[in-house]
Structure 1
Amino acid sequence: MDLGLKGKSVFVAAASKGLGRASALEFAREGANVTIASRSEERLSEAKRVIGEATGVEVSTVAMDAGKADDVQRAIREAAERFGGLDVLVCNAGGPKGGRFDEMSDSDWQAAYELNLLGTIRMIREALPYMRKAGGGRIVNLTSASIKQPIDGLILSNVFRAGVHALTKTLATELAPDGILINTVAPGRIATDRIQELDEANAKKTGRSLDEVRQASERSIPLGRLGQPDEFGRVVAFYGSFANTYATGQALLVDGGAVKAL
Protein backbone atom coordinates (compact mmCIF):
# COMPACT_ATOMS: atom_id res chain seq x y z
CA MET A 1 0.00 0.00 0.00
CA ASP A 2 1.23 3.46 -0.90
CA LEU A 3 0.79 5.62 2.20
CA GLY A 4 1.14 8.84 0.26
CA LEU A 5 3.97 10.07 2.47
CA LYS A 6 6.79 10.47 -0.05
CA GLY A 7 8.12 14.01 0.20
CA LYS A 8 5.73 14.97 3.00
CA SER A 9 7.04 16.96 5.96
CA VAL A 10 6.62 14.99 9.20
CA PHE A 11 7.41 16.16 12.73
CA VAL A 12 7.73 13.53 15.49
CA ALA A 13 8.10 14.68 19.10
CA ALA A 14 10.00 12.75 21.79
CA ALA A 15 11.55 10.70 19.01
CA SER A 16 15.05 10.08 20.32
CA LYS A 17 14.07 6.63 21.60
CA GLY A 18 11.16 4.27 22.23
CA LEU A 19 7.83 4.68 20.48
CA GLY A 20 8.65 8.09 19.05
CA ARG A 21 11.79 6.82 17.36
CA ALA A 22 9.99 3.72 16.09
CA SER A 23 7.29 5.94 14.56
CA ALA A 24 9.83 8.29 12.96
CA LEU A 25 11.64 5.31 11.45
CA GLU A 26 8.46 4.10 9.73
CA PHE A 27 7.79 7.55 8.26
CA ALA A 28 11.36 7.62 6.97
CA ARG A 29 10.86 4.20 5.36
CA GLU A 30 7.93 5.70 3.46
CA GLY A 31 10.10 8.48 2.00
CA ALA A 32 8.88 11.34 4.17
CA ASN A 33 11.03 14.30 5.17
CA VAL A 34 11.20 13.64 8.90
CA THR A 35 12.14 15.97 11.73
CA ILE A 36 12.67 14.35 15.12
CA ALA A 37 12.61 16.30 18.38
CA SER A 38 13.79 15.57 21.90
CA ARG A 39 15.28 17.32 24.92
CA SER A 40 18.54 15.38 24.56
CA GLU A 41 20.75 16.34 21.63
CA GLU A 42 22.98 13.34 22.35
CA ARG A 43 20.06 10.90 22.05
CA LEU A 44 18.82 12.75 18.96
CA SER A 45 22.17 12.15 17.27
CA GLU A 46 21.94 8.46 18.13
CA ALA A 47 18.37 8.24 16.81
CA LYS A 48 19.43 9.96 13.60
CA ARG A 49 22.19 7.38 13.18
CA VAL A 50 19.87 4.42 13.87
CA ILE A 51 17.18 5.63 11.48
CA GLY A 52 19.76 6.45 8.80
CA GLU A 53 21.33 2.99 8.99
CA ALA A 54 17.93 1.30 8.82
CA THR A 55 16.45 3.35 5.99
CA GLY A 56 19.19 5.23 4.18
CA VAL A 57 17.30 8.43 4.98
CA GLU A 58 18.89 11.34 6.83
CA VAL A 59 16.35 12.77 9.25
CA SER A 60 16.57 16.28 10.65
CA THR A 61 16.83 16.93 14.37
CA VAL A 62 15.76 19.74 16.65
CA ALA A 63 16.10 20.07 20.41
CA MET A 64 12.74 20.62 22.14
CA ASP A 65 11.25 20.35 25.60
CA ALA A 66 7.54 19.74 25.00
CA GLY A 67 6.79 21.36 28.35
CA LYS A 68 8.20 24.74 27.25
CA ALA A 69 6.13 26.99 24.97
CA ASP A 70 9.13 28.74 23.37
CA ASP A 71 10.79 25.42 22.56
CA VAL A 72 7.66 24.08 20.86
CA GLN A 73 7.15 27.21 18.80
CA ARG A 74 10.77 27.29 17.65
CA ALA A 75 10.98 23.57 16.86
CA ILE A 76 7.81 23.46 14.75
CA ARG A 77 8.86 26.61 12.89
CA GLU A 78 12.33 25.23 12.14
CA ALA A 79 10.89 21.97 10.80
CA ALA A 80 8.38 23.78 8.60
CA GLU A 81 10.98 26.18 7.24
CA ARG A 82 13.41 23.36 6.49
CA PHE A 83 10.93 21.34 4.42
CA GLY A 84 8.62 24.03 3.08
CA GLY A 85 5.69 23.32 5.38
CA LEU A 86 4.32 20.70 7.72
CA ASP A 87 1.98 17.89 6.69
CA VAL A 88 2.06 15.45 9.60
CA LEU A 89 2.45 16.01 13.33
CA VAL A 90 3.04 13.20 15.84
CA CYS A 91 2.56 14.50 19.39
CA ASN A 92 4.44 12.50 21.97
CA ALA A 93 6.06 13.04 25.36
CA GLY A 94 7.64 10.95 28.07
CA GLY A 95 5.44 9.49 30.75
CA PRO A 96 4.92 11.52 33.94
CA LYS A 97 5.93 10.46 37.42
CA GLY A 98 4.36 7.25 38.67
CA GLY A 99 2.53 6.94 41.98
CA ARG A 100 -0.81 7.09 43.76
CA PHE A 101 -3.03 10.11 44.43
CA ASP A 102 -1.77 10.74 47.99
CA GLU A 103 1.82 10.80 46.76
CA MET A 104 1.33 13.66 44.30
CA SER A 105 1.98 17.32 45.07
CA ASP A 106 0.67 20.35 43.21
CA SER A 107 4.01 20.61 41.43
CA ASP A 108 3.71 16.99 40.24
CA TRP A 109 0.27 17.69 38.79
CA GLN A 110 1.46 20.91 37.16
CA ALA A 111 4.52 19.26 35.60
CA ALA A 112 2.43 16.43 34.12
CA TYR A 113 -0.13 18.91 32.79
CA GLU A 114 2.55 21.05 31.16
CA LEU A 115 4.29 18.09 29.53
CA ASN A 116 1.54 15.68 28.58
CA LEU A 117 -1.52 17.84 27.89
CA LEU A 118 -0.48 21.44 27.37
CA GLY A 119 2.55 20.32 25.37
CA THR A 120 0.25 18.54 22.93
CA ILE A 121 -2.03 21.56 22.73
CA ARG A 122 0.94 23.79 21.95
CA MET A 123 2.31 21.51 19.24
CA ILE A 124 -1.05 21.31 17.50
CA ARG A 125 -1.57 25.08 17.75
CA GLU A 126 1.79 25.74 16.09
CA ALA A 127 1.27 23.13 13.36
CA LEU A 128 -2.24 24.11 12.26
CA PRO A 129 -1.36 27.22 10.19
CA TYR A 130 1.01 25.17 8.04
CA MET A 131 -1.52 22.38 7.55
CA ARG A 132 -4.30 24.80 6.69
CA LYS A 133 -2.07 26.51 4.16
CA ALA A 134 -1.35 23.12 2.57
CA GLY A 135 -5.06 22.29 2.41
CA GLY A 136 -4.94 19.46 4.93
CA GLY A 137 -2.82 17.36 7.22
CA ARG A 138 -2.65 14.53 9.70
CA ILE A 139 -2.16 14.64 13.48
CA VAL A 140 -1.49 11.58 15.63
CA ASN A 141 -1.47 11.86 19.42
CA LEU A 142 0.41 9.12 21.26
CA THR A 143 -1.14 8.34 24.63
CA SER A 144 -1.60 5.08 26.58
CA ALA A 145 -4.02 2.20 26.89
CA SER A 146 -5.01 3.92 30.15
CA ILE A 147 -7.39 6.12 28.14
CA LYS A 148 -9.68 3.06 28.13
CA GLN A 149 -8.64 1.34 31.36
CA PRO A 150 -6.77 3.26 34.10
CA ILE A 151 -3.50 1.72 35.23
CA ASP A 152 -2.89 1.35 38.96
CA GLY A 153 -0.13 3.59 40.28
CA LEU A 154 -0.10 5.90 37.25
CA ILE A 155 -2.69 8.49 38.22
CA LEU A 156 -0.98 11.41 36.45
CA SER A 157 -0.73 9.51 33.19
CA ASN A 158 -4.30 8.22 33.52
CA VAL A 159 -5.70 11.72 33.88
CA PHE A 160 -3.70 13.63 31.29
CA ARG A 161 -3.57 10.92 28.63
CA ALA A 162 -7.37 10.80 28.80
CA GLY A 163 -7.36 14.57 28.41
CA VAL A 164 -5.32 14.26 25.24
CA HIS A 165 -7.88 11.91 23.73
CA ALA A 166 -10.72 14.26 24.74
CA LEU A 167 -8.80 16.94 22.84
CA THR A 168 -8.47 14.60 19.86
CA LYS A 169 -12.18 13.84 19.81
CA THR A 170 -13.11 17.52 20.02
CA LEU A 171 -10.66 18.65 17.36
CA ALA A 172 -11.77 15.95 14.92
CA THR A 173 -14.98 17.93 14.42
CA GLU A 174 -13.34 21.35 14.42
CA LEU A 175 -10.56 20.42 11.97
CA ALA A 176 -12.51 18.27 9.52
CA PRO A 177 -13.53 21.24 7.31
CA ASP A 178 -9.80 22.01 6.91
CA GLY A 179 -9.03 18.51 5.67
CA ILE A 180 -7.07 17.72 8.83
CA LEU A 181 -7.57 14.27 10.36
CA ILE A 182 -6.57 13.70 13.98
CA ASN A 183 -6.41 10.42 15.87
CA THR A 184 -5.05 8.88 19.06
CA VAL A 185 -2.84 5.80 19.01
CA ALA A 186 -2.52 4.23 22.45
CA PRO A 187 0.17 1.70 23.34
CA GLY A 188 -0.28 -1.10 25.78
CA ARG A 189 2.81 -2.88 27.04
CA ILE A 190 5.45 -2.31 24.38
CA ALA A 191 9.08 -3.28 25.04
CA THR A 192 10.57 0.16 25.71
CA ASP A 193 12.70 1.77 28.42
CA ARG A 194 9.53 3.20 29.99
CA ILE A 195 8.04 -0.28 30.53
CA GLN A 196 11.36 -1.52 31.89
CA GLU A 197 11.42 1.33 34.42
CA LEU A 198 7.81 0.71 35.49
CA ASP A 199 8.44 -3.01 35.89
CA GLU A 200 11.54 -2.37 37.97
CA ALA A 201 9.59 -0.03 40.24
CA ASN A 202 6.79 -2.60 40.56
CA ALA A 203 9.26 -5.35 41.42
CA LYS A 204 10.88 -3.21 44.10
CA LYS A 205 7.53 -2.21 45.60
CA THR A 206 6.08 -5.74 45.68
CA GLY A 207 9.23 -7.66 46.58
CA ARG A 208 9.02 -9.78 43.46
CA SER A 209 11.76 -10.35 40.91
CA LEU A 210 11.74 -8.46 37.62
CA ASP A 211 11.15 -11.75 35.79
CA GLU A 212 8.09 -12.49 37.94
CA VAL A 213 6.64 -9.06 37.22
CA ARG A 214 7.28 -9.43 33.50
CA GLN A 215 5.80 -12.94 33.32
CA ALA A 216 2.65 -11.87 35.16
CA SER A 217 2.29 -8.99 32.74
CA GLU A 218 2.67 -11.23 29.71
CA ARG A 219 0.05 -13.65 31.05
CA SER A 220 -2.46 -10.78 31.11
CA ILE A 221 -1.99 -10.12 27.38
CA PRO A 222 -3.97 -12.40 25.03
CA LEU A 223 -1.08 -12.52 22.55
CA GLY A 224 1.16 -13.66 25.40
CA ARG A 225 4.01 -11.21 24.92
CA LEU A 226 5.01 -7.56 24.97
CA GLY A 227 4.67 -5.66 21.73
CA GLN A 228 7.67 -4.45 19.78
CA PRO A 229 8.24 -0.77 18.97
CA ASP A 230 8.13 -1.37 15.21
CA GLU A 231 4.68 -2.97 15.55
CA PHE A 232 3.48 0.25 17.13
CA GLY A 233 5.33 2.50 14.69
CA ARG A 234 3.65 0.96 11.66
CA VAL A 235 0.21 1.79 13.08
CA VAL A 236 1.23 5.39 13.73
CA ALA A 237 2.58 5.72 10.19
CA PHE A 238 -0.73 4.59 8.72
CA TYR A 239 -2.90 6.88 10.85
CA GLY A 240 -0.52 9.73 10.07
CA SER A 241 -0.57 9.00 6.36
CA PHE A 242 -2.59 10.15 3.40
CA ALA A 243 -3.75 6.58 2.79
CA ASN A 244 -5.90 7.28 5.84
CA THR A 245 -8.69 9.34 4.34
CA TYR A 246 -11.70 8.71 6.59
CA ALA A 247 -10.63 7.76 10.13
CA THR A 248 -10.60 10.76 12.44
CA GLY A 249 -11.33 11.28 16.13
CA GLN A 250 -10.54 7.64 16.85
CA ALA A 251 -8.53 5.93 19.57
CA LEU A 252 -6.72 2.81 18.43
CA LEU A 253 -5.15 0.60 21.10
CA VAL A 254 -2.02 -1.31 20.15
CA ASP A 255 -1.98 -3.60 23.18
CA GLY A 256 -2.11 -7.24 22.10
CA GLY A 257 -5.75 -7.40 23.21
CA ALA A 258 -5.00 -6.59 26.86
CA VAL A 259 -7.74 -4.02 27.42
CA LYS A 260 -11.17 -5.66 27.51
CA ALA A 261 -13.28 -2.46 27.52
CA LEU A 262 -15.71 -2.00 24.63
Structure 2
Amino acid sequence: MELGLQDKSVFVAAASKGLGRASALEFAREGARVTIASRNIEQLQEAQQEIASATGVTVDIVQMDVNDATQIQSAIAQVIERTSRLDVLVTNAGGPPGGTFTDMEDEHWQQAFEQNLLSTIRLIRAALPALQSDGGGRIVNIASSSVKQPIDGLILSNVFRAGIQALTKTLSSEYGHKGILINTVAPGRIATDRILELDSKRAADQQISVEQLQAQATAQIPLGRMGTPEEFARMVVFYGSFANTYVTGQSLIVDGGTIRAL
Protein backbone atom coordinates (compact mmCIF):
# COMPACT_ATOMS: atom_id res chain seq x y z
CA MET A 1 0.00 0.00 0.00
CA GLU A 2 1.27 3.45 -0.93
CA LEU A 3 0.99 5.66 2.16
CA GLY A 4 1.59 8.96 0.41
CA LEU A 5 4.27 10.05 2.86
CA GLN A 6 7.20 10.58 0.51
CA ASP A 7 8.73 13.98 1.27
CA LYS A 8 5.90 14.91 3.65
CA SER A 9 6.93 16.96 6.69
CA VAL A 10 6.27 15.02 9.91
CA PHE A 11 6.81 16.23 13.48
CA VAL A 12 6.93 13.68 16.32
CA ALA A 13 6.95 14.89 19.92
CA ALA A 14 8.71 13.05 22.76
CA ALA A 15 10.55 10.98 20.17
CA SER A 16 13.95 10.41 21.74
CA LYS A 17 12.90 6.94 22.91
CA GLY A 18 9.98 4.55 23.26
CA LEU A 19 6.87 4.83 21.15
CA GLY A 20 7.76 8.26 19.78
CA ARG A 21 11.12 7.10 18.48
CA ALA A 22 9.61 3.94 16.99
CA SER A 23 6.99 6.05 15.21
CA ALA A 24 9.60 8.44 13.85
CA LEU A 25 11.60 5.50 12.53
CA GLU A 26 8.61 4.12 10.63
CA PHE A 27 7.79 7.52 9.12
CA ALA A 28 11.41 7.78 7.97
CA ARG A 29 11.15 4.34 6.36
CA GLU A 30 8.24 5.70 4.30
CA GLY A 31 10.33 8.55 2.93
CA ALA A 32 8.93 11.35 5.09
CA ARG A 33 10.96 14.36 6.17
CA VAL A 34 10.86 13.73 9.92
CA THR A 35 11.61 16.07 12.81
CA ILE A 36 11.86 14.58 16.28
CA ALA A 37 11.63 16.54 19.52
CA SER A 38 12.52 15.94 23.15
CA ARG A 39 13.90 17.94 26.06
CA ASN A 40 16.97 15.65 26.29
CA ILE A 41 19.36 16.64 23.50
CA GLU A 42 21.73 13.71 24.08
CA GLN A 43 18.92 11.17 23.73
CA LEU A 44 17.66 13.03 20.66
CA GLN A 45 21.07 12.74 19.03
CA GLU A 46 21.21 9.03 19.86
CA ALA A 47 17.77 8.53 18.30
CA GLN A 48 18.84 10.53 15.24
CA GLN A 49 21.88 8.26 14.79
CA GLU A 50 19.84 5.08 15.29
CA ILE A 51 17.24 6.12 12.72
CA ALA A 52 19.93 7.09 10.24
CA SER A 53 21.66 3.74 10.74
CA ALA A 54 18.41 1.81 10.24
CA THR A 55 17.03 3.77 7.29
CA GLY A 56 19.79 5.81 5.71
CA VAL A 57 17.61 8.86 6.42
CA THR A 58 18.77 11.72 8.64
CA VAL A 59 15.95 13.14 10.71
CA ASP A 60 15.99 16.69 12.02
CA ILE A 61 16.05 17.28 15.78
CA VAL A 62 14.71 20.08 17.93
CA GLN A 63 14.97 20.41 21.70
CA MET A 64 11.54 20.90 23.26
CA ASP A 65 9.97 20.45 26.68
CA VAL A 66 6.27 19.63 26.25
CA ASN A 67 5.56 21.50 29.48
CA ASP A 68 6.79 24.78 27.99
CA ALA A 69 4.38 26.67 25.71
CA THR A 70 7.13 28.87 24.28
CA GLN A 71 9.29 25.89 23.37
CA ILE A 72 6.35 24.21 21.64
CA GLN A 73 5.71 27.28 19.52
CA SER A 74 9.40 27.54 18.69
CA ALA A 75 9.70 23.86 17.76
CA ILE A 76 6.80 23.97 15.32
CA ALA A 77 8.14 27.21 13.83
CA GLN A 78 11.55 25.56 13.30
CA VAL A 79 9.96 22.63 11.46
CA ILE A 80 8.10 24.95 9.11
CA GLU A 81 11.23 27.04 8.55
CA ARG A 82 13.28 23.96 7.66
CA THR A 83 10.73 22.17 5.48
CA SER A 84 8.44 25.04 4.36
CA ARG A 85 5.42 23.00 5.45
CA LEU A 86 3.93 20.65 8.05
CA ASP A 87 1.81 17.70 6.94
CA VAL A 88 1.67 15.40 9.94
CA LEU A 89 1.73 16.07 13.68
CA VAL A 90 2.23 13.27 16.21
CA THR A 91 1.59 14.42 19.78
CA ASN A 92 3.16 12.47 22.60
CA ALA A 93 4.44 12.93 26.14
CA GLY A 94 5.85 10.79 28.90
CA GLY A 95 3.28 9.20 31.18
CA PRO A 96 2.46 10.69 34.58
CA PRO A 97 3.40 8.88 37.80
CA GLY A 98 1.34 5.96 38.99
CA GLY A 99 -0.78 6.08 42.11
CA THR A 100 -4.31 6.18 43.48
CA PHE A 101 -6.58 9.13 44.27
CA THR A 102 -5.30 9.56 47.82
CA ASP A 103 -1.68 9.55 46.61
CA MET A 104 -2.16 12.68 44.52
CA GLU A 105 -1.90 16.28 45.67
CA ASP A 106 -2.78 19.38 43.65
CA GLU A 107 0.71 19.64 42.20
CA HIS A 108 0.48 16.09 40.81
CA TRP A 109 -2.80 16.89 39.07
CA GLN A 110 -1.47 20.17 37.71
CA GLN A 111 1.73 18.62 36.38
CA ALA A 112 -0.11 15.73 34.71
CA PHE A 113 -2.61 18.13 33.16
CA GLU A 114 0.15 20.29 31.69
CA GLN A 115 2.30 17.39 30.53
CA ASN A 116 -0.32 15.09 29.08
CA LEU A 117 -3.36 17.14 28.06
CA LEU A 118 -2.32 20.78 27.78
CA SER A 119 0.79 19.84 25.79
CA THR A 120 -1.42 18.10 23.24
CA ILE A 121 -3.66 21.16 23.01
CA ARG A 122 -0.66 23.47 22.58
CA LEU A 123 0.99 21.31 19.92
CA ILE A 124 -2.19 21.10 17.87
CA ARG A 125 -2.89 24.81 18.22
CA ALA A 126 0.62 25.67 17.05
CA ALA A 127 0.47 23.26 14.10
CA LEU A 128 -3.04 23.91 12.80
CA PRO A 129 -2.27 26.87 10.49
CA ALA A 130 0.40 24.88 8.64
CA LEU A 131 -1.67 21.70 8.57
CA GLN A 132 -4.50 23.60 6.89
CA SER A 133 -2.35 25.46 4.38
CA ASP A 134 -2.05 22.68 1.77
CA GLY A 135 -5.61 21.45 1.95
CA GLY A 136 -5.38 19.33 5.05
CA GLY A 137 -3.03 17.29 7.19
CA ARG A 138 -3.02 14.49 9.72
CA ILE A 139 -2.82 14.53 13.52
CA VAL A 140 -2.16 11.44 15.60
CA ASN A 141 -2.39 11.68 19.37
CA ILE A 142 -0.52 8.96 21.27
CA ALA A 143 -2.40 8.21 24.47
CA SER A 144 -3.12 5.01 26.43
CA SER A 145 -5.61 2.16 26.42
CA SER A 146 -7.08 3.91 29.46
CA VAL A 147 -9.06 6.05 26.99
CA LYS A 148 -11.36 3.01 26.82
CA GLN A 149 -10.89 1.33 30.19
CA PRO A 150 -9.31 2.85 33.33
CA ILE A 151 -6.18 1.14 34.59
CA ASP A 152 -5.87 0.47 38.33
CA GLY A 153 -3.21 2.61 39.98
CA LEU A 154 -2.94 5.09 37.11
CA ILE A 155 -5.55 7.69 38.01
CA LEU A 156 -3.70 10.64 36.45
CA SER A 157 -3.30 8.85 33.15
CA ASN A 158 -6.90 7.64 33.23
CA VAL A 159 -8.26 11.17 33.57
CA PHE A 160 -6.04 13.11 31.19
CA ARG A 161 -5.67 10.47 28.48
CA ALA A 162 -9.47 10.35 28.30
CA GLY A 163 -9.35 14.11 27.83
CA ILE A 164 -7.10 13.60 24.81
CA GLN A 165 -9.69 11.39 23.13
CA ALA A 166 -12.42 13.91 23.93
CA LEU A 167 -10.24 16.52 22.22
CA THR A 168 -9.68 14.20 19.25
CA LYS A 169 -13.38 13.61 18.76
CA THR A 170 -14.25 17.30 19.08
CA LEU A 171 -11.56 18.50 16.66
CA SER A 172 -12.44 15.83 14.10
CA SER A 173 -15.80 17.58 13.78
CA GLU A 174 -14.47 21.13 13.88
CA TYR A 175 -11.71 20.61 11.30
CA GLY A 176 -12.94 17.78 9.08
CA HIS A 177 -14.23 20.21 6.46
CA LYS A 178 -10.71 21.64 6.24
CA GLY A 179 -9.25 18.26 5.35
CA ILE A 180 -7.61 17.56 8.70
CA LEU A 181 -8.00 14.02 9.98
CA ILE A 182 -7.23 13.47 13.68
CA ASN A 183 -7.14 10.20 15.57
CA THR A 184 -5.84 8.72 18.80
CA VAL A 185 -3.62 5.64 18.82
CA ALA A 186 -3.52 4.13 22.29
CA PRO A 187 -1.06 1.48 23.49
CA GLY A 188 -1.77 -1.33 25.88
CA ARG A 189 1.17 -3.38 27.12
CA ILE A 190 3.93 -2.47 24.70
CA ALA A 191 7.50 -3.39 25.65
CA THR A 192 8.93 0.02 26.58
CA ASP A 193 10.87 1.51 29.48
CA ARG A 194 7.61 3.06 30.72
CA ILE A 195 5.99 -0.37 31.13
CA LEU A 196 9.06 -1.72 32.92
CA GLU A 197 9.01 1.27 35.27
CA LEU A 198 5.33 0.75 36.14
CA ASP A 199 5.77 -3.02 36.47
CA SER A 200 8.71 -2.56 38.83
CA LYS A 201 6.64 -0.31 41.09
CA ARG A 202 3.66 -2.67 41.10
CA ALA A 203 5.86 -5.69 41.75
CA ALA A 204 7.46 -3.95 44.73
CA ASP A 205 4.01 -3.00 46.08
CA GLN A 206 2.84 -6.61 45.77
CA GLN A 207 6.15 -8.02 47.05
CA ILE A 208 6.65 -10.23 44.02
CA SER A 209 9.27 -10.23 41.29
CA VAL A 210 8.89 -8.18 38.12
CA GLU A 211 8.97 -11.45 36.17
CA GLN A 212 6.04 -12.83 38.16
CA LEU A 213 4.02 -9.66 37.68
CA GLN A 214 4.72 -9.60 33.94
CA ALA A 215 3.74 -13.25 33.59
CA GLN A 216 0.42 -12.50 35.30
CA ALA A 217 -0.19 -9.48 33.09
CA THR A 218 0.72 -11.32 29.91
CA ALA A 219 -1.75 -14.06 30.78
CA GLN A 220 -4.53 -11.44 30.43
CA ILE A 221 -3.55 -10.62 26.82
CA PRO A 222 -5.40 -12.77 24.27
CA LEU A 223 -2.36 -12.83 21.97
CA GLY A 224 -0.27 -14.08 24.89
CA ARG A 225 2.54 -11.52 24.72
CA MET A 226 3.38 -7.86 24.98
CA GLY A 227 3.47 -5.84 21.79
CA THR A 228 6.57 -4.29 20.31
CA PRO A 229 7.14 -0.58 19.69
CA GLU A 230 7.41 -1.37 15.97
CA GLU A 231 3.94 -2.95 15.92
CA PHE A 232 2.50 0.12 17.60
CA ALA A 233 4.38 2.52 15.34
CA ARG A 234 2.95 0.96 12.18
CA MET A 235 -0.53 1.94 13.34
CA VAL A 236 0.59 5.50 14.07
CA VAL A 237 2.05 5.76 10.59
CA PHE A 238 -1.09 4.50 8.86
CA TYR A 239 -3.38 6.89 10.74
CA GLY A 240 -0.90 9.69 10.07
CA SER A 241 -0.63 8.83 6.39
CA PHE A 242 -2.46 9.98 3.29
CA ALA A 243 -3.62 6.44 2.61
CA ASN A 244 -5.98 7.19 5.48
CA THR A 245 -8.63 9.29 3.78
CA TYR A 246 -11.82 8.58 5.73
CA VAL A 247 -11.01 7.68 9.34
CA THR A 248 -11.12 10.55 11.82
CA GLY A 249 -12.15 11.11 15.42
CA GLN A 250 -11.39 7.51 16.37
CA SER A 251 -9.33 5.79 19.05
CA LEU A 252 -7.39 2.71 18.00
CA ILE A 253 -6.32 0.47 20.88
CA VAL A 254 -3.11 -1.44 20.17
CA ASP A 255 -3.17 -3.97 23.00
CA GLY A 256 -3.31 -7.52 21.66
CA GLY A 257 -7.05 -7.68 22.43
CA THR A 258 -6.83 -6.95 26.16
CA ILE A 259 -9.49 -4.25 26.46
CA ARG A 260 -12.96 -5.79 26.53
CA ALA A 261 -14.92 -2.61 25.76
CA LEU A 262 -17.01 -2.69 22.59
TM-score by length of 1: 0.99
Give the corresponding residue for 1:130. 130
The one-letter amino acid paired with 2:47 is A
Query: What is the rounded CA distance, in whole Å, between the counterparts of 1:140 and 1:63 in structure 2?
Result: 20
SS in structure 1 at match of 2:124 = helix
Consecutive aligned runs of 4 or more in structure 1 exceeding 4 Å deviation: none
Give the corresponding residue for 1:59. 59
CA RMSD of aligned residues (A): 0.5
Q: How many residues are treated as equivalent by the alignment? A: 262
What stretches of structure 2 of length at least 5 have no aligned partner?
none
Q: By how many angstroms is 1:4 displaced?
A: 0.1
Give the corresponding residue for 1:88. 88
SS in structure 1 at match of 2:259 = coil
The one-letter amino acid paired with 1:146 is S
The one-letter amino acid paired with 1:103 is D
Query: What is the rounded CA distance, in whole Å, between the counterparts of 1:79 and 1:20 in structure 2?
Result: 17
Residues 153-209 of structure 1, C-alpha deviations (whole Å, 9 max, x = no match): 100000000000000000000010110000000000000000000000011000001
What stretches of structure 1 of length at least 5 have no aligned partner?
none
**2:103 is the alignment partner of 1:121:** no
The one-letter amino acid paired with 1:60 is D
Give the corresponding residue for 1:15. 15
Give the corresponding residue for 2:48. 48
Query: What is the rounded CA distance, in whole Å, between the counterparts of 1:210 and 1:103 in structure 2?
Result: 22
Aligned counterparts, 1:91-170, within 5 A: 91-170=91-170
Q: By how many angstroms is 1:81 displaced?
A: 0.9
Query: What is the rounded CA distance, in whole Å, between the counterparts of 1:84 and 1:128 in structure 2?
Result: 14
TM-score by length of 2: 0.99
Q: By how many angstroms is 1:67 displaced?
A: 1.0
Query: What is the rounded CA distance, in whole Å, between the counterparts of 1:52 and 1:258 in structure 2?
Result: 34
Aligned counterparts, 1:103-252, within 5 A: 103-252=103-252
Query: What is the rounded CA distance, in whole Å, between the counterparts of 1:71 and 1:98 in structure 2?
Result: 27
Give the corresponding residue for 2:254. 254
The one-letter amino acid paired with 1:253 is I
The one-letter amino acid paired with 1:123 is L
Give the corresponding residue for 2:77. 77
How many percent of aligned residue pairs carry the same amino acid?
A: 64
